[in-house]
């Protein structure tokens, strides 16, 4: 009785399996390997390699769909996911290229500036500045520059005291 029930169950399951699977196991395994390549390249900041792996994934998906290993519905959903990932990778690749171009330009400008500095004639050393002290003017006389005749040598005092009068 147990054997008969097992055979009936197996026959019933086989009848339910008549519909094609959305994704066969062999195709799923191959596609998962390609997805892993894309993920590793993207995680390694190599969008160009990730895009190349994504192209291989897309080609293998199309081949599996043509061989009937992937349903139309599943193919369409995977293609939509591939398109979204491709857009992100393309943006990342453009940003990486822009950053590399900016770095190359900065390096070229720095090298040109260094070359210009190396080939430029050195400017002569500035001449030393000699500071000459300015002479301090003599103080002005207290009487405004007029002569003082009040001393012993005045003109009236030389006439004598009157002893030799003529």
Rg (CA), the chain: 54
Report d(CA 40, CA 50) in Å as an integer: 8
Mean pLDDT of 19-29: 79
Question: Global pTM?
Answer: 0.53
Let me know: does 69 contact 24? Beta carbons within 8 Å: yes
Residue 146: per-residue pLDDT? 61
What's residue 15's pLDDT?
A: 36
Residue 53: count of CB within 10 angstroms of its CB? 22
Q: Whole-angstrom Cα distance, residue 48 to residue 93?
A: 7
19-27 long-range CB contacts below 8 Å, 24 or more apart?
20/68, 20/71, 21/71, 22/70, 22/71, 22/73, 22/74, 23/69, 23/70, 23/71, 23/74, 24/64, 24/69, 24/70, 26/69, 27/64, 27/67, 27/69, 27/70
Per-residue pLDDT of 88-113, as tens digits, reads: 889 888 998 999 999 999 999 998 88
pLDDT tier at 9, thresholds 50, 70, 90 = very low
């Amino acid at each position: 009785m147990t054997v008969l029930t097992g055979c009936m169950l197996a026959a019933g399951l086989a009848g339910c399996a008549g519909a094609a699977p959305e994704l066969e196991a062999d195709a799923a395994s191959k596609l998962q390997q390609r997805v892993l390549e894309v993920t590793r390249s993207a995680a390694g900041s190599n969008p160009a390699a990730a895009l190349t792996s994504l192209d291989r994934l897309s080609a293998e998906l199309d081949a599996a769909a043509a061989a009937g290993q992937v349903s139309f519905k599943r193919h369409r959903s995977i293609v939509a996911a591939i398109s979204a990932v491709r857009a992100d990778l393309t943006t990342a690749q453009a940003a990486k290229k822009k950053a590399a171009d900016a770095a190359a330009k900065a390096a070229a400008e720095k090298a040109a500036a260094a070359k210009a500095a190396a080939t430029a004639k050195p400017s002569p050393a500035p001449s030393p500045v000699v500071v000459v002290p300015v002479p301090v003017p003599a103080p002005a006389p207290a009487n405004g520059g007029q002569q003082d005749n009040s001393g012993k040598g005045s003109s009236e005092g030389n006439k004598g005291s009157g002893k030799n009068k003529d």
